[in-house]
Amino acid sequence: LKTQVMPRDARHHILHIEDDPEVAGAVAQLLGANGYEVTHAADGLSGLLAFNQDPNQWAAVLVDLALPHVSGYSLLKEMHQARPSLPLIVLTGAAPGTNLEVYELGAVILWHKPISSTELLENLRVLIHF
């Protein structure tokens, strides 16, 4: 008897919270082409609502820090509390060397845009064992 802890497709489902439509589109296209399912939220509040519908359905969350309504920092804190083992990945346009406090809030990786698609995919694969 096999016990399924997560829904079967949960390994592939990424929540991307990003207010820049160009970045969101590029990431969705890249991940989609590589077998991931992506749910996009354009601001912090809708990101939080999407996350809270079912915190266990996500394989990882990609989150921007400067977001309308609810900041990336608040999101990290909330999501990490709800599900400590979930890989939270920060993608920020801020200067490298800044925003290091995201690690204390539960982030596993801090990336400064632009990030190469190879790097994004390889790291995701390692994090969620896809």
The DSSP secondary structure of the chain, one letter per residue, reads ----SS-GGGGGEEEEE-S-HHHHHHHHHHHHHTT-EEEEESSHHHHHHHHHH-GGG-SEEEE-SS-SSS-HHHHHHHHHHH-TTS-EEEEE-SPTT--GGGGTTTEEEEEESS--HHHHHHHHHHHHT-
pTM, two decimal places: 0.88
Report pLDDT for 2: 45
Does residue 64 surpass a pLDDT of 90?
yes
Does residue 75 surpass a pLDDT of 90?
yes
Across residues 82-105, what is the average pLDDT? 91
- At 109, the pLDDT band (50, 70, 90 cuts) reads very high
- pLDDT tens track for 20-55: 999 999 999 999 999 999 999 999 999 999 999 999
Q: For the chain, give the percent of residues with pLDDT over 70.
A: 90
In angstroms, the CA 30 to CA 106 distance is 25
In angstroms, the CA 118 to CA 103 distance is 23
In this predicted model, which residue has the larger pLDDT, 113 or 26? 26
- At 4, the pLDDT band (50, 70, 90 cuts) reads very low
In angstroms, the CA 34 to CA 121 distance is 8
Report pLDDT for 3: 45
Q: Out of 30-34, 56-60, 78-82, 92-96, which region has the weakest mean confidence (pLDDT)?
A: 92-96
Give the dihedral sign, CA 50/101/95/118. negative
